[in-house]
Amino acid sequence: MTRELKKILNRWQTAWNAGDLVKVMSLFDKKFILSQQGWPDSDFATVARGYAFDFKTNPPGARWNGVLEETFERGKLAVAISRWEFSANRKGKRVVLERLRCVDVLRRKGKEWKFVRTLTYPEKK
């Protein structure tokens, strides 16, 4: 299972870093909910609008890099716990702008896994 979850997270990272909204959103269930510390919950449509905005306004070289740390699967549900860094180019240097911890819940439909719930919070410094 860990291998499958790594592939899904890598697909998200690759699609997001390429600014491919269609590919990114294809990984999410239509009933997806994102919870970010300090913000109201966001549904599928709100997340799609947010990503579209990000792709238009991100600084040069903006990208997410993630490391999967822990996984759990039982039946049609899986949990992935990971650490993410958001970085961009600033004055010729790569600068980390944000570090997050992320808990993703995925549900299997047939052979395909989809994100159904994500909780993100800032990593302690």
Q: How confident is the model at residue 123 (pLDDT cuts 50, 70, 90)?
A: confident
Q: 2-122: what CATH class?
A: alpha beta
Strands of the chain (E only): list them. Answer: 28-36, 42-43, 63-74, 77-90, 93-109, 112-122
With CA atoms as reference, report the closest residue to 4 among 119, 100, 120, 111: 111
Give per-residue pLDDT as tens, 39-63. 999 999 999 999 999 999 999 899 9
Amino acid 31: pLDDT: 97
Q: How confident is the model at residue 1 (pLDDT cuts 50, 70, 90)?
A: low
Q: How far is Cα 93 from Cα 90, in angstroms, rounded to an integer?
A: 5
Q: Is the pLDDT of residue 125 over 80?
A: no
Amino acid 46: pLDDT: 97
Amino acid 47: pLDDT: 98
Give per-residue pLDDT as tens, 62-120. 999 999 999 999 999 999 999 999 999 999 899 999 999 999 999 998 889 999 999 99
User: For the whole model, what pTM was predicted?
Assistant: 0.90
| Rounded alpha-carbon distances, angstroms, from residue 121 to 49, 81, 83, 99 | 20, 12, 10, 9
Domain ranges of the chain: 2-122
